[in-house]
Amino acid sequence: MQHQQKILILDFGSQYTQLIARRIRESKVYSEIQPHNYPLSKIKADRPHGIILSGGPMSVYDNNSPTMSDEIFELGIPILGLCYGLQLIAKKFNGIVEPANDREYGKANIEIISDDVLFNGVDNNSIVWMSHGDYVNNLPKDFIVTSRTKNSPICSFGYTEKKLYGLQFHPEVAHTQFGKKIIENFLFDLCNCNQDWSPKNFIKSSINEIKDKVKDKKVICALSGGVDSSVAAVLMNRAIGNQLICIHVDTGLMRKNESSEIINMFQSNYKLHLISVDASSMFLEKLKNVSDPELKRKIIGTTFIEIFENEANKFSNVDFLVQGTLYPDVIESVSVKGESATIKTHHNVGGLPEKMKLKLIEPFRELFKDEVREIGKDLGLSDNFLKRHPFPGPGLAVRVLGDVTKERLDLLRDADDLFIKELISSGIYDNIWQAFAVLLPVQTVGVMGDSRTYENVLALRAVTSTDGMTADWFKFDYDFLENISNKIIRSVRGINRIVYDISSKPPSTIEWE
């Protein structure tokens, strides 16, 4: 197999590290982020075409400031330090880094003062994005200054023979006028990369890696029907066929017809080895009279693991569990750990690998959602499927507020289905990050025909967001709201009032429980 070329990004904690990876992959070169202390032996084994040292919040002179193995400078691989990365290189080669009198945040005018491959095709004067408190005051020996700004007389430097480069500014940030060009100069002129990163190539090289790893063992997968785990399952199936066993647990908390649609789609289009378990009565039984949101989440999480484990144990030779973890999930779970309070206990199959002593396969650990969608598309999944809104693990149990019963779930399912269909037929579904209905534990008085009604209130929620971490409520036009309100009240018996949720996150959350 041809080696997948890659650029290794060592992460020193910058808020922009993900952006560096994105920019590189937008130029069709594969890039991977690893922690700053990624072992030298692994770097050597990875054979990257280039290494980027990211920015970071600390000063290189702080106690315990993050660093990396000095031996990377002896590998002969081009290295580019950005901001903190540049300061690290300066310090390692005995330059002097000092706190700046005037910290630079935001846009700055840069002037290129000597020829440098990194600046090929870049105007002599342009705008860059700065975000730093320290600056290089004294250049290390053998390095040359290649650009300056008003407050950073050494704004970039290079040491051509050693292929070492540093930029004080952030080329990965869109405000840097020639940022893309500078990154591409590094990739193509200094690292000699080919543009070989594409979904097709990713699929090809992952299939080989998966085969190598799994050999003749079996892999299990919890197929909920979510985009990430579905794409992971299809990819695994391409690699190892029926050695992959997918288990779909119907919790009874899914949306209208969802379970049967998922099973049909995967069995008829992909011939997956798929076992489906109808556990709806078990979930309902365990959720009886439970209205506390955290307790609901915990019950659902442990019940799910119990059922899944029970099914998986029917097979021997199972060594691996595949999960559709994405890069933002990895980052979030790292940064969310520690001091911060638990807002909601997220349910996924997180507890499974330890409990069942399984090794994890996470083919998308380095990727972003839109990249996984592209891979899914290449694997033949439909656009409609790939663009579906996220759905929480605990399902409709956190959207039926208060007690969860079959009747209330069915009521919600009907209303939610009308809402989603209306969004699709109005052509606005794709403009919304997530939309759903919530059944409130409140009854109100109404009048239908000549009769008094005393029925349920339904809330509609629709938000825009890029990652679910923050969100804003979607601004429907009044005609849409009027129309959907009438439609639901007329056709779903048991609902006589609709309200629209106009809170943003924070301070609210997207789900109500």
**Chain contacts with ligand XMP (rule: CB under 6 A):** 344, 346-348, 390, 392-394, 434, 468, 505, 509-511
Whole-number Å distance between alpha carbons of 411 and 321? 35
The residue among 238 and 346 lying less far from ligand XMP, judged by its C-beta, is: 346
Whole-number Å distance between alpha carbons of 62 and 66? 9
> Least Å distance between CB 283 and ligand XMP?
14
> Least Å distance between CB 312 and ligand XMP?
20
Specify whether the CB–CB gap between 55 and 36 falls below 8 A: no
The residue among 241 and 506 lying less far from ligand XMP, judged by its C-beta, is: 506
> Least Å distance between CB 208 and ligand XMP?
30
The residue among 199 and 390 lying less far from ligand XMP, judged by its C-beta, is: 390
> Least Å distance between CB 390 and ligand XMP?
4
The CA-CA-CA angle for residues 398, 399, 405, to 5°, reads 85
Tokens linked to 87: 């300061």
Query: Could you list the active site residues?
Result: 83, 170, 172
> Least Å distance between CB 507 and ligand XMP?
11
Q: In this structure, is the dihedral angle defined by the CA atoms of residues 83, 84, 89 and 91, taken in order, positive or negative?
A: positive
Contacts of 483 (CB under 8 A, 6+ apart): 422
The residue among 163 and 399 lying less far from ligand XMP, judged by its C-beta, is: 399
Instruction: Output phi, psi for 450, to 5 deg.
Output: -105, 5
The residue among 192 and 509 lying less far from ligand XMP, judged by its C-beta, is: 509
Buried b (16+ CB within 10 A) or exposed e, 119-154: beebeeebbbbbbbebbbeebbeebebbbbbebbeb
> Least Å distance between CB 468 and ligand XMP?
4
The residue among 345 and 405 lying less far from ligand XMP, judged by its C-beta, is: 345
Whole-number Å distance between alpha carbons of 111 and 147? 5
DSSP string computed for 170-208: -TTSTTSTTHHHHHHIIIIIIS---S--SHHHHHHHHHH
Pick from 108, 125, 133: nearest CA to 55: 133
